[in-house]
Structure 1
Amino acid sequence: MKIAVMGGTGLIGSQVVRLLNAAGHEAVPHSPSTGVDLISGDGVAAALEGAVAVVNLTNSPTFDDQSPAWFRASMGNLLAAAAAAGTGHAVILSIVGVDQVPDLDYYRAKVLQEDVLKAGPVPYSIVRSTQFFEFMDAVMSWTSDERTVRLPATRVQPIASADIAKAVADATAGAPLNGTRNVAGPEVFTLDELGRITLEAKGDKRTVVVDDTAGMFAAVKGDALIAGADAVLSTLTYREWLAR
């Protein structure tokens, strides 16, 4: 079947396209670089022509208070175009525990995106994932200097982007869930512990210091980002991924 993958040239999107095509589907990547813009609407109708399903993996350009408006507009425009094109399944990638972190603008924006999808005219699937292995370097860079990395002791359950992409591809190829599927990695760490493992694997001699005010994840309380018993767990561990 023909599948339009919005954000199909990014980290997750490019892998989703590859997986779907390997499974015999016709997955087509779309992004502003290919002439498709969900905010302006440019190219969206053409991208959805003949598509049985659409995956929305686009992301707000900021994590701040501008992100809710971006997600509302992009999701609303996509659903209107999908309904007009007769596309029968819309899939998005969201975040495990996203509705339990109200102090983060970006998380509130992702909840809004989910709500727009749920209230829309197209059958849907939501895949919620825990944090990507690949984002750890960026997380550490927010609150580090030449000698120290400051991280909160936030509990996380990270997962490889390849496993997230497989979960998204599987959901897209299946019938609409009209609900949510949670996916997570096999291990739980505190963020500072994850930082130490990362630095050691890279031969980085900086010291990780626990600072519960440092960075975006300082706003996360308790086990908000830990997957529940209903989650599908991957098997690749963080240390195995680092070793690759």
Structure 2
Amino acid sequence: MRTLYVIGIGAGDPDQVTVQAIKALRQVDVFFVIGKGAEKRELVEVRTAILTGYADRPYRIVEIPDPPRERAPDDYRSTVQDWHERRSLLLEEAFAAHDGVGAILVWGDPALYDSTLRMVERVLARGTLDFDYTVIPGVTSVHALAARHRTVLHRIGEPVHITTGRRLREEGLGPGSTVVMLDADCTFTTVPGDTFIWWGAYLGMPDETLFAGRVGEIGGEIAHRRAELRERKGWIMDIYLLRPAE
């Protein structure tokens, strides 16, 4: 393999795959997929639908098992860096074993809360393999959330702060509007009750679920519904936008 595409495929709706991504898909011989576990078969089905609909040539799929990582570490940064290193070693092994044009499909966009580009750079930095790679942007869950709620991410002249549930818990709301990703603990329940929330789960998928309103009025309902969905499906991907009362 001497060429690699890192392709953003959007938040879950195959219709959001860009023309640029489709053109790249049609050049790929082998797709490298980091496994997400048997309970996330829906993600596999979305990926399959994208490849069936757009990759109009023979291709191979190489699935790479995702190494486990500690979910509540004392040193978060070091734990994640170790996980990235182990992931990159598995990717390097797979790259070396397969010839042709390769690709990694990334949910959303490779530049936003995704580690794929860091792992590809780790592979190159070791110097064992030499290849070029191209990044294809995708529709992020941030954009999908705003579109589904028919809202703008920011008020006039104000910033948008994108963060995680862990950082929201530690630092509170940022200036202007705050988009929160990777929040397993419903941290929105800790912000002032008059804060407005736009929440979405499984964006672009059949079980897409949306809520909008004041945290003090619907925060508990969102938390309850989120727990129900996760219990029923075994996994959840959600995101929300917070904005203080004017």
**TM-score bracket, shorter-length normalisation:** 0.3 to 0.5
Q: Which has the larger radius of gyration?
A: 2
TM-score w.r.t. length of structure 2? 0.36
Give the alignment's TM-score, normalised by structure 1: 0.37
- RCO comparison, higher one (Cα < 8 Å, 6+): 2
